[in-house]
Structure 1
Amino acid sequence: MSTEPVDIADVPAEVRDRHAILAQEVEEHRQRYYFATPTISDAEFDQLMRELESIEEQYTSLRTPDSPTQKVGAPVTEPGVVEGSWPPIDHLERMLSLDNAFTFDELTEWASRVEREVGEGARYLCEPKVDGLAVDIVYRDGRLATLATRGDGRTGENITYNTRYADAIPKELTGTDQFPVPEVVEIRGEVVFPAEAFEAINAERGELGLPLFANARNSGAGVLRQRLDRRKEKIDAARKRAEAAGGEGRAQLALQRLEDEFDRARRMISSLILICHGLGQRSGFEVEYQSEAYAALKAWGLPVSERVRVVPNLPAVQEYIGHYGEHRHDVEYEIDGVVVKVDQVSLQRRLGSTSRAPRWAIAFKYPPEEVTTKLLDIRVSVGRTGRVTPYGVMEPVKVAGSTVENATLHNASEVERKGVLIGDTVVLRKAGDVIPEILGPVAELRDGSERAFVMPTECPSCATTLKPAKEGDVDIRCPNTRSCPAQLIERLFYLSGRGGFDIEAMGWEAAQALTAPDEPAEPPVRDEGDLFGLRIEELRDVRIRREIRRKGQPTGEFELVPYFYTKETPSKPSVPTKNTERLFGQLEKAKRQPLWRVLVSLSIRHVGPTAARALANAFGSMERIQNATEEELAAVDGVGPTIAASVIEWFEVPWHRDVVRKWSEAGVRMEDERDESVPRTLEGLTVVVTGSLEGFSRDEAKEAILVRGGKASGSVSKKTSYVVAGESAGSKLDKAMQLGVPVLGEEGFRALLEGGPDAAAAHVQAAE
């Protein structure tokens, strides 16, 4: 496969279209995964990502900084995992992800690339891949300074407060003559529940009538990220109320309940273990081998895996992987594969990193585990675009470390192809995703009571007759796009995401409450156009249907309760909740978002962040996009005929145009304001930024290029005007040198931004 630079104008239109569609799908599924509402399996996601990577390997001009292949990790805040969120904190050195191998052939390909780059002689460090929460720990002068989650690799959540209860995280490093403690050292590791502790916690929760945790990884992450500081504040306030009441009555009971809950949370955090596996930034400390770094970590009093092995060659790596594939459940915590690293640090530096992962390490992922369970029913869900998807409801079963009871079946044809019947014992496969996959039935166990699934003819959410979008489509859809409650909830949830308006307080339940068809009779949001015109007092009577729970267990009984306001009592009037006030504050902030985010939030088919940015940069306003011809839209770099046709089709629908009108009337920004004081110094220039810059994040560098009229590209070709090379620039710098593309450092980049090519000429670096 050729990897020669190809200018984007030379990429076939159908390839650009497929790339844009894939990029949008991957981003949407990634967002749903991090918000714990995935609709596809890990295997399907990996397939989409691999197709995207394959296209970008062949057409490198499509590999832009916006591409999902260039991103790391999760949003800084993952709503729904913990109550509230911690303040952000920047990592001293960026935390990267790992590329994956799923077969020995892929592992061999990686090892061959290593050998091509650095020659023979690389030895490998192998360790079990801990399925936990990635953390970043900073020690200054040997004392614990900060603890943070990985977040997006550059910025995480500052959860340092909880370290006072996390026994596994040393508060002070020790050090030896061989390994004295550095002035500053950044430690990377994974926090997870050991299997024994996880089972004990669930046993206690069962005895107390509390819901059981599904798996060790997610519950461990949620436990460590609890706002124990806020719980402590509630306890202090409750203690004052109890003292004022003389230490008796309801106030004392409320205090006792809060203290018991806090004690359980504290004990759960103290049950977590830490496994360290790497270093970030450090001062006054260098090693020759990764394994030597592990010895230093251990000498400092930090926990490392006792199962780490340094092996001389690839066959020994494969033997190690095979051993833990057979004995993965013998490890005291959940693992989902093996991490393989080049042990020599000098070779690691020569191999470098991509924008998201080191080239000197890879994660070998074990195949999904398979179990059998009873298929109790097949139901359907309705997605954002109206697609109706069957899913299986099963007897709960534990697989790959978590308990599952729902699994995707994709579409009616897939149900028929797999031959599953309601009542079957089915084979279930799960690779760590929340919604696993039914592979097929165990036909030998049928007793004749099984029955076939019949795809509904009406939408389960709005009773509209279902039909394919066009003749020959495998999927069927609900055509009631405007007012189908299920689709509207999905669209509100989507537009509130980080790729859209970024309205954190608009969770799934809030979207459901706003669109509830029963209470009140006329819901406050009939389509997304109503969202920004809402008034807080309109939501006083909104109720949501919730299941009544007794001792933490569902009862099957339901009640209508206020959602946006507190419950009214004889002594207290109903008032907006704090989350409601936060929602309206965020709605006001969302009105000022740039045009590309507004475009994403409209749920135009195929228009994700990349296409939306391209349209916003090309036309500058919603009105000009709406009035553009299909040919004008398709001519935009990064759009193409498929997306252009989709945009035209979307604006032809009257209620779609009403959404835009209502948003505009409510004050949503429909035109990007260009700062005339910023000089257009980069008109017609294509700039590639590679490596780390001290004064710019990757997004800030890109924005600086775009506002000055330039194009920020992710790949180097002969048509690249400049490459800006920061620290750890890697292969893009090498390619620029080979092609004779001018290279600038950070000082030269600033000169280019301020004065254009003439000002940057004196800063161009000579080829070595």
Structure 2
Amino acid sequence: MTNLTKEKAEKKVKALRKKIREHEYKYFVLDDPSISDAEFDQLMQKLIKLEEEFPELVTEDSPTQRVGGEVLDEFEKVEHSAAMLSLDNAFDAGDLRDFDQRVRKNLSGEDYQYVVEHKIDGLSAVMRYRDGSFELGATRGNGEVGEDITQNMKTIRSLPLKIEEQAEMELRGEIYLAKSEFQRLNEERLENEEAPFANPRNAAAGSVRQLDSKIAAQRSLSILIYDLISHSTREFETHLEVFSYLKELGFKVNWHQAAADIEAVIEICEHWQEERESLDFEIDGLVIKINNLSLREKLGSTARSPRWAIAYKFPAQQKTTQIKDIEISLGRTGALTPTAILEPVELAGSTVSRATLHNEDEIKRKDIRIGDTVLVQKAGDIIPEVVKVIKEERDGSEKEFKMPDQCPVCGGEVIRPEGEAVTRCTNISCPAQRKESILHFVSRDAMNIDGVGPALIEQLLENNLIEDYADLYFLKQSHLKDLDRMGEKSSQNVIEAVEASKDREFFRVLYALGIRHVGIGAARILAANFNSIEELQQASAEELEAIDEIGPVIAESIFGFFKERHNRDLLSRLKQAGIRLQKKESESTKFLEGLKFVFTGSLNNYSRSEVKDLVEKAGGRAVSSVSSKTDYLVTGDNPGSKYDKARELGIEILTEEEFKELIEEKNSSEN
């Protein structure tokens, strides 16, 4: 015990925290420590003792809060303020030049430059700061909804818990485990007779999803920031300007380099392709982005990826192994996909024992046979595939493979439609198709029915309790309680989860139907253009194709889906079961349909995420840059350069109070 008063203790605590944060920044961000580990530990112990004696002085952003806290029961869901889109891929210089041509065409004469960054092989995360304190950390999840990993992210020493900026900010970064730390961790696990981690990425992902943050604290995770999504008081013109600002605040930002044109980008890619192993963390490529933020806004995005960025993927690592057998797997659309069963081989940090062979044409083109010695790689460092056969290794014992003329699951007829490379089972009642279709329907991005997984679906099909996903809504608890691992409580939970799913958003229902080529992004676009299944069903292929971002392939697939009688029967039974097959009233209230809003200055009544949510729920778009296509600029205190640009372009300018009145007036008139 000390003899300090609370006032003196508070001064000491503040001084210690400031000193510790400075040393954390030097050690974990700059990699340039100015004191020894022992000296740092002594500072931390002094702070811990003072906080123990004066617990009322403990704050959420204190360095002592990095050691891990209470054990969670589960992770809370977090809805992202802006969708985390995927990037299109480039695999060679030709792909990069094609990307540049598309950019040049869409920017019609504008000058632009690129920024090139490392594509870290880790785990994407979102961070929110409020009034200078780290408030929330979340995983990417499905791009729309992630998981709250705030407690685990607090253990990352390179992530500041307190910054000198009294604002609301949202950032994105990549959590990773250094190669040296990965090696240390695996050596420790082997000593403890635990299974080693397969690769640094898996170890990092497993660490941030620990319910006990003390375990995450032991893993020495790192993070590199690669984007600033929103800022409540500041505006930026370029990505490089954002990076400079974040570095000043004490963040460890991703390596980056400016490139005047695409040829300079290609040179940088070639350099890092040779030098990637010199880094103490894994990278599987580089990310190329437009530097100017207003030009990004002009280029926009497709349903799944931005048009202003692309990922250059390094050539895949390759190894030789032997094909022991070839098996056929069935997807939910009836596609028969041949898969090579391999002699296990270590490849790009993990053990590979299966590789896709894509389709019959691919097998014939590469002359792949059972027993062949083959060269395998991970396409984009993710999906194993057979590159080529080492024919000089053949000894005559190899066997040619033929696609079956009957479905290996149901025995039904299989056909290969003219002009397609894929062979399909024609039996819409095929158990394999039904199982995959139902799994898709209940998945998190679709109807999100908790407790209905592969094992239960298999039992339901085997016991003839269901034939398709519509039957789920006609199950009773008495049907379930005698199944394996289905007691009274479990069966009740399943029935309640099924019932709760009847009121999902319209776009999720569209995605859940499993219409070929309709992913979650396309489902959102369809839901924005049609109010109900009936409206969508009546649309012609030409009308569908006329919708921005819905191409001819998707349009024909949707049109064909509704022509199929079995699918119409499915929809009829879903309607009978009480599934909402149209937008909710709140989804249909689109009084800002098609309007673009830009916000500038510090708002008093709303956070940036709140105004974005208000605008988008009403059918509008909240964008970051002023252009001739902007409909309204909303100004808070101390508006920036966007105000001047809006006046030049003659864009209507609203005060925050006028924006509030607009929203409230429209909402009251709708109700």
TM-score of the pair, normalised by structure 1 = 0.60
Amino acid at match of 1:277: Y
Structure 2 residue matching 1:333: 3-state secondary structure:
coil
Contact 1:194 1:332 in 2 (8 A): yes
Aligned 1:29-68 pairs, distance under 5 A: none
Counterpart CA distance in 1 for 2:590 and 2:416 is: 45
Contact 2:348 2:381 in 1 (8 A): no
Contact 2:510 2:523 in 1 (8 A): no
Aligned with 1:576 (options 465, 468, 489):
489
Counterpart CA distance in 1 for 2:442 and 2:138 is: 25
Alpha-carbon distance, 1:615 to partner: 9.1
Alpha-carbon distance, 1:220 to partner: 1.6
Aligned with 2:466 (options 515, 525, 532):
525
Counterpart CA distance in 1 for 2:306 and 2:437 is: 36
Change (3 A) 1:525 1:730: farther
Counterpart CA distance in 2 for 1:108 and 1:192 is: 30
Aligned equivalent of 2:477: 536
Aligned equivalent of 2:367: 419
1:475 equivalent in alignment to 2:459: no
Aligned with 2:149 (options 146, 151, 159):
159
User: Which deviations, in whole Å up to 9, do the C-alpha atoms of 1:50-93 show, x marking residues without a partner?
Assistant: xxxxxxxxxxxxxxxxxxxxxxxxxxxxxxxx9954231555x7
User: Which deviations, in whole Å up to 9, do the C-alpha atoms of 1:189-234 show, x marking residues without a partner?
Assistant: 21112223334444555666655544332442232123227xxxxx
Structure 1 residue matching 2:325: 3-state secondary structure:
strand
Aligned 1:383-394 pairs, distance under 5 A: 383-394=331-342
Aligned equivalent of 2:442: 496
Aligned equivalent of 1:465: 412
Change (3 A) 1:534 1:727: same
Name which of structure 1's ranges 149-158 and 186-195 shifts more when overlaid on structure 2: 149-158
Counterpart CA distance in 1 for 2:582 and 2:132 is: 52
Aligned equivalent of 1:188: 172
Counterpart CA distance in 2 for 1:311 and 1:620 is: 47
Aligned equivalent of 1:728: 625
Contact 1:135 1:189 in 2 (8 A): yes
Aligned equivalent of 1:589: 500
Counterpart CA distance in 1 for 2:561 and 2:299 is: 34
Change (3 A) 1:405 1:593: same
Amino acid at match of 1:275: L
Counterpart CA distance in 2 for 1:617 and 1:284 is: 34
Aligned with 2:560 (options 638, 643, 646):
646
Contact 1:117 1:351 in 2 (8 A): no
1:221 equivalent in alignment to 2:205: yes
Amino acid at match of 2:560: S
Contact 1:136 1:189 in 2 (8 A): yes
TM-score of the pair, normalised by structure 2 = 0.68
Counterpart CA distance in 2 for 1:191 and 1:153 is: 16
Stretches of structure 1 lacking an aligned partner (at least 5 in a row): 1-81, 174-179, 230-261, 544-561, 566-574, 706-711, 713-723, 760-768
Aligned equivalent of 1:687: 594
Contact 1:418 1:441 in 2 (8 A): yes
Change (3 A) 1:458 1:619: same
User: Which deviations, in whole Å up to 9, do the C-alpha atoms of 1:335-355 show, x marking residues without a partner?
Assistant: 122234566xxx444654644
Structure 2 residue matching 1:576: 3-state secondary structure:
helix
Amino acid at match of 1:576: K
Contact 2:225 2:253 in 1 (8 A): yes
Alpha-carbon distance, 1:161 to partner: 1.5
Counterpart CA distance in 2 for 1:625 and 1:125 is: 42
Aligned equivalent of 1:303: 252
Counterpart CA distance in 2 for 1:279 and 1:675 is: 30
Contact 1:468 1:477 in 2 (8 A): yes
Identity, % of aligned positions:
33
Counterpart CA distance in 2 for 1:602 and 1:284 is: 43
Change (3 A) 1:493 1:361: closer
Structure 2 residue matching 1:465: 3-state secondary structure:
coil
CA RMSD of superposed structures (Å):
4.8
Contact 2:77 2:147 in 1 (8 A): yes
Amino acid at match of 1:418: K
Alpha-carbon distance, 1:511 to partner: 2.9
Amino acid at match of 2:353: E
Counterpart CA distance in 2 for 1:205 and 1:224 is: 18
Counterpart CA distance in 2 for 1:650 and 1:421 is: 38
Change (3 A) 1:699 1:496: farther
Alpha-carbon distance, 1:110 to partner: 6.1
Aligned equivalent of 2:78: 88
Aligned equivalent of 1:48: none
User: Which deviations, in whole Å up to 9, do the C-alpha atoms of 1:281-331 show, x marking residues without a partner?
Assistant: 4467788876675566555543345x5555677655443322210121222
Alpha-carbon distance, 1:157 to partner: 3.0
Change (3 A) 1:153 1:489: closer
| Greater RCO, 1 or 2 (C-alpha within 8 Å, sep 6+) | 1
Amino acid at match of 2:431: P
Aligned with 1:171 (options 161, 165, 168):
161
Contact 2:317 2:381 in 1 (8 A): no
Contact 1:691 1:730 in 2 (8 A): no
Equivalent residue pairs, number: 559
User: Which deviations, in whole Å up to 9, do the C-alpha atoms of 1:385-441 show, x marking residues without a partner?
Assistant: 222110111123333444322211122232122111112121223234643221221
Change (3 A) 1:644 1:119: closer
Contact 2:589 2:618 in 1 (8 A): no
User: Which deviations, in whole Å up to 9, do the C-alpha atoms of 1:101-123 show, x marking residues without a partner?
Assistant: 44335545666857976548x5x
Structure 1 residue matching 2:205: 3-state secondary structure:
helix
Contact 2:237 2:294 in 1 (8 A): no
Aligned equivalent of 2:220: 271
Amino acid at match of 1:591: K
Aligned 1:225-236 pairs, distance under 5 A: 225-228=209-212
Alpha-carbon distance, 1:497 to partner: 3.4
Counterpart CA distance in 2 for 1:332 and 1:424 is: 37
User: Which deviations, in whole Å up to 9, do the C-alpha atoms of 1:486-506 show, x marking residues without a partner?
Assistant: 111111111123554233543
User: Which deviations, in whole Å up to 9, do the C-alpha atoms of 1:171-195 show, x marking residues without a partner?
Assistant: 345xxxxxx6555554432111222
Aligned equivalent of 1:246: none
Counterpart CA distance in 2 for 1:659 and 1:360 is: 40
Aligned equivalent of 1:448: 396
Name which of structure 1's ranges 415-424 and 427-436 shifts more when overlaid on structure 2: 427-436
Aligned equivalent of 2:11: none
Counterpart CA distance in 2 for 1:339 and 1:511 is: 40
Counterpart CA distance in 2 for 1:271 and 1:390 is: 41
Aligned equivalent of 2:93: 104
Counterpart CA distance in 2 for 1:314 and 1:192 is: 29
Counterpart CA distance in 2 for 1:732 and 1:150 is: 30
User: Which deviations, in whole Å up to 9, do the C-alpha atoms of 1:2-33 show, x marking residues without a partner?
Assistant: xxxxxxxxxxxxxxxxxxxxxxxxxxxxxxxx
Aligned equivalent of 1:63: none
Amino acid at match of 1:728: S
Structure 2 residue matching 1:687: 3-state secondary structure:
coil
Amino acid at match of 1:590: S
Counterpart CA distance in 2 for 1:523 and 1:374 is: 40
Aligned equivalent of 1:559: none
Aligned equivalent of 1:512: 458
Aligned with 2:279 (options 331, 356, 374):
331
Contact 2:156 2:223 in 1 (8 A): no
